[in-house]
Amino acid sequence: MPTYSPITLDGVAETVTDRLRSLAGRRVVLIDGADAARPVDLAARVSERLHTEGRAADVVDLGGWVRPASLRLEYGHTDEMSYRTAWFDYDGLAREVVGALRDRGRWLPAIWDAESDRSARLRVVDAGPDQVLIVAGPMLLGRGLHADLTVALTLSPAALRRLTPEEDHWTVDALVTHADRHDDTPDVEVKVDHPDRPALRES
């Protein structure tokens, strides 16, 4: 059975930041978590810490990598299979963020604006020699995204349902199914059944 130790949110951010201190050069971090686990908030905390230490760090929100509505909503607005397999452009993320940073020293912050259902029309950003990109969002593990550091914010199915807004409950089964089916082991795992009282996995 895994063991967990209580930790603060700032402590989680510091744990991730400390791992990155030993990883020089351009690096990609994945923070995997359902929206209810607030992965983007943790990514922002880590980015702020790196900035204060003089290192370039940016957050890539998976929400900017949704597919056009014609694809993600082909089978309706609440289709579990679509959310798990067609909602987000993981291939584009691998190509234009992860691969582009490593191969070309450049990266694209977002590809699609879900609200307007149009291209995000953002320019490619040139990366510095020590750039860190922190990709945050749901179902990132198990997608073949070759990150230098992976973090999982995990929720029990009951906590996931409790913390997810009622109008988004249709996503819960997709999130649970994906977590059950992939076998990627994160470098850092944090249980966030109680968001204000996270617990860090020790073993």
Q: What angle do CA 44, 49, 55 make, to 5 degrees?
A: 105
Strands 132-137, 57-61: pairing is parallel
The tens digit of pLDDT for each residue in 86-115 reads: 999 999 999 999 999 999 999 999 999 999
Q: Is the pTM of this model over 0.95?
A: yes
Element (H, E) at 36: none
Quick check: 161 pLDDT over 90? yes
* Per-residue pLDDT band at 60 (split at 50, 70, 90): very high
Mean confidence (pLDDT) of the chain: 97
- Predicted local distance difference test score (pLDDT) of residue 81: 96
17 Cα distance to chain centroid: 16
What are the φ and ψ backbone dihedral angles of 82, each rounded to 5 degrees? Answer: -65, -40
For range 13-19, the mean pLDDT: 98
Strands 125-126, 132-137: pairing is unpaired
Domain count for the chain: 1
For range 22-39, the mean pLDDT: 98
Which domain covers residue 43, as residue numbers?
Answer: 4-201
What are the φ and ψ backbone dihedral angles of 151, each rounded to 5 degrees? Answer: -130, 135
- Predicted local distance difference test score (pLDDT) of residue 198: 98
The tens digit of pLDDT for each residue in 107-150 reads: 999 999 999 999 999 999 999 999 999 999 999 999 999 999 99
- Predicted local distance difference test score (pLDDT) of residue 2: 87
Q: Which CATH number characterizes residue 36's domain? A: 3.40.50.300
- Predicted local distance difference test score (pLDDT) of residue 203: 79
- Compute the distance between CA of residue 131 and CA of residue 85 in angstroms, rounded to an integer: 30
Is the distance from CB of 24 to CB of 128 less than 8 angstroms? no
- Predicted local distance difference test score (pLDDT) of residue 7: 98
Structure tokens at 181: 């089916």
Bridge partners (DSSP) of residue 125 are 107
- Burial of 82-91, coded b for 16+ CB within 10 Å and e otherwise, reads bbbebbbbbe
